[in-house]
Amino acid sequence: MRPDTAFSDQLEAWLRREEPKTLGALGEAFGEKSFAVTILFLMFVPALPLPTGGITHVFEAITVLLAAQMVLGRRTIWLPQRWQRRELGALTTGKTVPFMIRRIRWFEKFSRPRGAGLFRQRWFLRLLGVVFIGFAAGAAAAPPFSGLDTLPALGAVAVALSIVLEDLVVLGIGLAIGVGGIALIFTIGAALLHFVRNLF
């Protein structure tokens, strides 16, 4: 990534290139930020308050795999060749990514490097890998069609964006949203379990 160019502009430039839009190409395009950018893409879809028919579980599973590699300290993404070559699809590149770019630009207006040195520490990135695993697992644990997966996924998106922007304030927002979302999932889940037990 070029430090003198806004991330949203780099993302838009990548989208306009005449090359296959795959997860592998995405990782190659953003170098040292490839983990954060790829997870940002993967978790953005579950973060949308839209019915997705269970496809988000695939994205969450890939996120867990990438986050585990962060925890292990890998500097480059490893994915099965089949996943690396998989096209993101016209819906993703034509509608979802432009929508995501507009939201990122909103964040960029208020964001600035805060605590940037932390985001360059391997131990800190490993810790954020654990956070990604927790948020992805929390989103996957949400009851089907409840919409509760949105908050942990949105938390993961904000944490990924904080790595790209190197901003501790954005990180704090992401942690608050994600942890709050997981707490809500388990609170509602416990209430539903209590209700079902009382029926029998």
Structural domain harbouring 184: 7-199
2 part of a folded domain: no
Provide the b/e sequence for 69-89 (b: ≥16 CB within 10 Å).
bbeeeeeebebeeeebebebe
In a domain, 186, yes or no: yes
User: Measuring CA to CA, how many Å separate 33 from each of 39, 120, 163, 168?
Assistant: 10, 10, 8, 16
pLDDT in tens, 128-156: 999 999 999 998 888 766 677 889 999 99
| H-state helical runs in the chain | 7-16, 23-29, 34-47, 56-71, 81-84, 90-91, 97-110, 122-141, 150-165, 168-199
Q: State residue 3's pLDDT score.
A: 55
Q: Is residue 106 part of a domain?
A: yes
Domain annotation covers residue 48: yes
Q: What angle is formed at CA 160 by the lines to CA 114 and CA 75, rounded to 5 degrees? A: 95
Is residue 39 in a domain? yes
Instruction: Look up residue 25 and give its two tokens.
Output: 């190409």
Number of domains within the chain: 1
Per residue in 35-57, pLDDT (tens digit) is 999 999 889 888 887 655 567 78
Residue 183, in any domain of the structure? yes
Check pLDDT > 90 for residue 118.
yes
Per-residue pLDDT, 50: 67
Kindly report, residue by residue over 171-188, the tens digit of the pLDDT: 999 999 999 999 988 888
Task: Kindly report the backbone phi and psi dihedral angles of residue 166, in degrees, each rounded to the nearest multiple of 5, phi listed first.
Answer: 55, 55
Token pair of 37 as six digits = 């950018």
Which carries the bigger pLDDT value, residue 123 or residue 200?
Answer: 123
**Residue pLDDT, tens place only, 73-112:** 998 888 888 888 877 776 677 777 888 888 899 989 888 8
